[in-house]
A = this chain, B = another copy of it.
Amino acid sequence: MDKAKPGEAAVVLVSGGLDSMVAGGMAREAGYRIFALTIDYNQRHRIELEAAARVAKMLDAERHVVMPLDLTRFGGSALTDDSIAVPGNGVMPGIPVTYVPARNTIFLSLALGWAEAVGATRLAIGVNALDYSGYPDCRPEFIAAFEGMAGVATREGGFKILTPLIDMSKAAIALEAARLGLDAGQTWSCYDPQNGRICGICDSCRLRAKGYAEAGLTDPALA
């Protein structure tokens, strides 16, 4: 990631998971002032919001906004509609039912609004198009299209989207968290919490476990 200019700020989408923590840590290392943005979308795994508060602290965020936005009013996803179950049978081809319609579009739009209001020039998001669930709004072509749109949507444009994880494997992300000295034990990735514990079988749990195994590390969240 290119170094920030003095005083330059980034709005970092912080979910409470491993990926956004590492993306934020890389932005901080590059010198950006960090404005952490978390969306409380009434997700099935709202427990991740507690992790997001811990991550915002770890990133030394100047501000952390937790924005309530009740996407269960729209539904259409296992994460926003309790009647749709989270699959536990492995990462399959195609777009899974945990896809939340237009979620990253909505989240980046909110990040753009906050960035324009506070004068931040960068939006950081921990999307990853390698060890991922196949969501359309995690692909590089989506990010490029959003960045182009943001340029004409705003007063002065010039916003760049930082996606430092986009080509990284989950193993590389786990190693990067360790290198940055960020405690992944404070994060939450599971889509389908079971009485406050991870399920171990959703896509997100599987991808994370595979990453730590390939990195030859023990996941600090399981230690």
Contact = CB atoms under 8 A, between A and B. Distances in A.
A116 B102 contact: yes
B153 A95 contact: no
A212 interface: no
The main secondary structure of chain A at its interface with chain B is helix
Given A113-B105, A117-B101, A149 B152 contact: no
Interface string A139-163: 1011001101111111100000000
Contacts of A197: none
A75 B150 CA distance: 18
A71 interface: yes
Given A99-B155, A100-B113, A102-B150, 12 more contacts: A68-B70, A74-B113, A101-B114, A102-B116, A102-B153, A105-B109, A105-B149, A105-B150, A106-B109, A108-B109, A109-B109, A145-B151
25 contacts: A67-B70, A74-B110, A74-B118, A76-B113, A76-B117, A76-B118, A100-B113, A101-B113, A101-B114, A101-B117, A101-B155, A102-B109, A102-B113, A102-B150, A102-B153, A105-B113, A105-B150, A106-B106, A106-B112, A142-B149, A142-B152, A145-B145, A146-B153, A148-B148, A148-B149
